[in-house]
Amino acid sequence: MALVFDALLALAMLWLAWQGVHAQTLFQAVVSFMLFGLLIALAWVRLDATDIALAEAALGSGVTGALLFAALGQLPPEPIRARRRTRWHRRLLALAWGLVLLAPIALLLYGVLQLEGRGLGAEVNASLSQANIGSPVTAVLLNFRAIDTLLELVVMLSAVVVVWSLGATAPSPLPWLPAPSLPALTRLLFPVFLLTAGYLLWRGEHGPGGAFPAGAVLAAGFVLAILSGARAPAPDGHTGWRLLICLGPLAFAMVAGGVLLAGYVYFEYPPRVAGLLMIGIEIAAGISIGFMLTALFFAAERDHSSQV
């Protein structure tokens, strides 16, 4: 029974991936992509990776979907692509490329099947007591490979900086609303968004959750508020926005470097305060991720508001 479900899931994912690339309109492609993200989240749940499922559902499907829709709003309306008949030699070429690409996939599959054991789970669990935190995933993210996570935050920060350098962002535009129900819903749901983000942060210490899903939920709440007419100052050039966006990477880097002063190695948390430090980093990172994603959404809405 479970096998039937997994097979259906895999087939649906392949179909949606195909639709995402070959749909007749961009709108259909975006919707297919968002559904694809949701099914990927489901696949991660089936693989017992709840953390990644949470992050995928919130980031891959939710926030990315909002960004894609905002980008779609800036494009001129497109005509429906007519299905052209492809020439036989083009089909042959496509087939040849497909076969060429199949070879590395087969090689990868062979390599995966050759792997001994089931990943690094046993090693992580064995050294979990040294990490001073309950959740193995958070231990990996904030302790065993903390510098990778810091660099991920810096990459996100650079993305925001690059987007800002492309031009000034307007303050949030007053959206056109066909019905008064959206602001009412937002008033009702915004506290729930904040509560969920806080819950995910708190839960990251001992279970699935953490800064990335929490930040994505926070950003989703902000985006919903903007879409229902909440006013906020333009992010770029605003000191408050800059501080909030830098908070996570800054706190992370300060802890990493600060322990040097106390006589420890770079990124070596002092055992007595390790848990506290990691929770602090997690909270700062979650807030920053939320505001960074919102800033990206602001930038995507920018030109749209000036055109209308």
CB of 45 to other proteins, least distance (A): 15
User: Whose Cβ is closer to other proteins: residue 182's or residue 232's?
Assistant: 182
CB of 179 to other proteins, least distance (A): 4
| Residue 142: both structure tokens together | 């904030």
SS3 assignment for 120-179: CHHHHHHCHHHHCCCCHHHHHHHHHCHHHHHHHHHHHHHHHHHHHHCCCCCCCCCCCCCC
- Report the C-alpha gap between 228 and 185 in whole angstroms: 9
With contacts defined by CB under 8 A, how many residues of the chain interact with other proteins?
A: 10
| Look-up of token digits 């006013």 | 231
User: Whose Cβ is closer to other proteins: residue 88's or residue 176's?
Assistant: 176
The dihedral built from the CA positions of residue 107, 113, 114 and 115, taken in this order, carries a sign that is positive
User: Whose Cβ is closer to other proteins: residue 236's or residue 301's?
Assistant: 301
CB of 183 to other proteins, least distance (A): 10
- Report the C-alpha gap between 189 and 184 in whole angstroms: 9
1 lines the binding site for other proteins (CB under 8 A)? no
User: Whose Cβ is closer to other proteins: residue 50's or residue 253's?
Assistant: 50
Q: Which of 150, 129, 283, 143 is nearest to 204 (CA)?
A: 283
Query: Are the CB atoms for 249 and 157 separated by under 8 Å?
Result: yes
User: Whose Cβ is closer to other proteins: residue 37's or residue 136's?
Assistant: 37
- Site map for other proteins, 184-203, x if CB under 8 A? xx--xx--x-----------
User: Whose Cβ is closer to other proteins: residue 154's or residue 182's?
Assistant: 182
CB of 181 to other proteins, least distance (A): 5
- Report the C-alpha gap between 69 and 26 in whole angstroms: 10
> Which amino acid appears at position 241 of this protein?
W
- Site map for other proteins, 146-185, x if CB under 8 A? -------------------------------xxx-xx-xx
* Interface positions with other proteins (CB under 8 A): 177-179, 181-182, 184-185, 188-189, 192
